[in-house]
Amino acid sequence: MNRFHTPRSLARKLRRNVFEVTRDKAFRRVMKGCATRHRAGTWIGQEFIEAYTRLHKAGHAHSVECWQSGELVGGVYGVTAGGLFAGESMFHSVSDASKVALHHLVHHLLQRGFTLFDIQMVTPITRQFGAVEISREDYLKRLEAAVELRCSF
């Protein structure tokens, strides 16, 4: 997470405060936004949403939301264990909303002492932010250390 980089174009948007950003205010709606984004072949079905909603209510799953004019326009969600945040999915209906959510999420995690953000797969978007693939051996070492931490979202 220490390699996180905010692209210049996104930094300009952040300075303009185009979005209101919240945490854990619309977890289920973020999941539904992600399911809609993936439409055909989505793994985010109703049973999945119900299971993750239970994890959220138990304090293990979290979301960051982006709002514009009172409307949810982007977000990201995932699961925590110690100092690990395992990102599951993100969506946007307005340009850069998911990137703003991701930016806020990473800074929040760093402030709270999280040491590992598992994005599952490096994509062109996450690569812009400094995401890199690591070896399985390195990941398992980092995972073991991260889950031993006592971080709260």
The pair of three-digit structure tokens given for residue 42, joined into one six-digit string: 């989505």
pLDDT digits (tens, 9 = 90+) for 4-49: 888 888 888 899 999 999 999 999 999 999 998 655 566 788 999 9
CA geometry: angle at 23 spanning 7 and 50, to 5°? 115
The answer to the question of residue 3 being in a domain is: no
The answer to the question of residue 103 being in a domain is: yes
Report the percent of the chain where pLDDT is more than 70: 95
Asked whether the predicted pLDDT for residue 84 surpasses 90, the reply is: yes
Which CATH number fits the domain that encloses residue 142? 3.40.630.70
The answer to the question of residue 76 being in a domain is: yes
| pLDDT confidence of residue 104 | 96
Q: How many domains does the chain have?
A: 1
- Where b means 16+ CB within 10 Å and e means fewer, 96-118 reads bbbbbbbbbbbebbeeeebbbbb
Helix (H, G, I), strand (E, B) or coil at 126: helix
The answer to the question of residue 21 being in a domain is: yes
